[in-house]
């Protein structure tokens, strides 16, 4: 008799779990976003932002779009390689006894990829700056200061009266 009650309880528990799983599956299917945000739209949005912030003419904007296509592909390639290297580093660190030589190679690889990313950013900045007038160049420097979050770094720096903060404040000011 007890076995019958146990079987019945297990069966009802299985039914309950089945209902929960089906409900979760339906939720995932029907309530997921209908479309993923497209990276191409994000690129256009950032270009539109630059167009508005810098007051670019149509000719300047078309040149930025042309220059941005190459930079965008380069960024994605470097970021993909950087992601792979970071995962490899984490996998090595997760081992019981990580290979120090492998960790050294991976950290050098990650450092080189970060350097490549910075160099690509510098080239992109130089390309955009090359088509700007003096007022637009000053605005562009301000935008890059915000993107690089340099002022926030000064806020958390442990140095008081740091000369770098003054240098940072003077960046982008038009010379009179």
Query: Are 126 and 45 part of one and the same domain?
Result: yes
pLDDT tens-digit readout, 133-143: 999 888 888 88
Determine phi and psi for 38, rounding to 5 degrees. Answer: -85, 135
Domain boundaries, position 44: 39-132
pLDDT tens-digit readout, 3-41: 787 777 777 766 655 566 656 665 666 666 555 444 444
* pLDDT classification of 51: cutoffs 50, 70, 90: confident
Query: Are 117 and 173 part of one and the same domain?
Result: no
Question: Structural domain tally of the chain?
Answer: 3
Taking residues 106-130, what's their average pLDDT? 89
- Per-residue b or e along 96-128, where b marks 16 or more CB atoms closer than 10 Å to that residue's CB: eeeeeeeeeebeebbeebeebbeebbeebbebb
């Amino acid at each position: 008799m007890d076995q019958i009650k146990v079987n019945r309880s297990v069966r009802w528990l299985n039914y309950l779990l089945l209902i929960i799983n089906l409900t979760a599956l339906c939720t995932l299917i029907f309530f997921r976003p209908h479309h993923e945000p497209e990276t191409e739209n994000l690129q256009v949005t950032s270009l539109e932002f630059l167009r508005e912030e810098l007051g670019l003419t149509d000719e300047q904007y078309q040149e930025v779009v042309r220059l941005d296509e190459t930079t965008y592909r380069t960024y994605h390639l470097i970021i993909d390689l950087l992601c792979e290297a970071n995962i490899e580093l984490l996998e090595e660190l997760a081992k019981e006894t990580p290979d120090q030589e492998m960790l050294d190679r991976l950290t050098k690889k990650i450092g080189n990829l970060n350097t490549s990313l910075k160099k690509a950013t510098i080239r992109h900045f130089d390309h955009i700056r090359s088509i700007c007038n003096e007022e637009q160049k000053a605005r562009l420097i301000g935008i890059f200061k915000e993107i690089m979050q340099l002022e926030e770094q000064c806020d958390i720096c442990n140095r008081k009266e740091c000369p770098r903060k003054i240098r940072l404040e003077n960046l982008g000011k038009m010379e009179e």
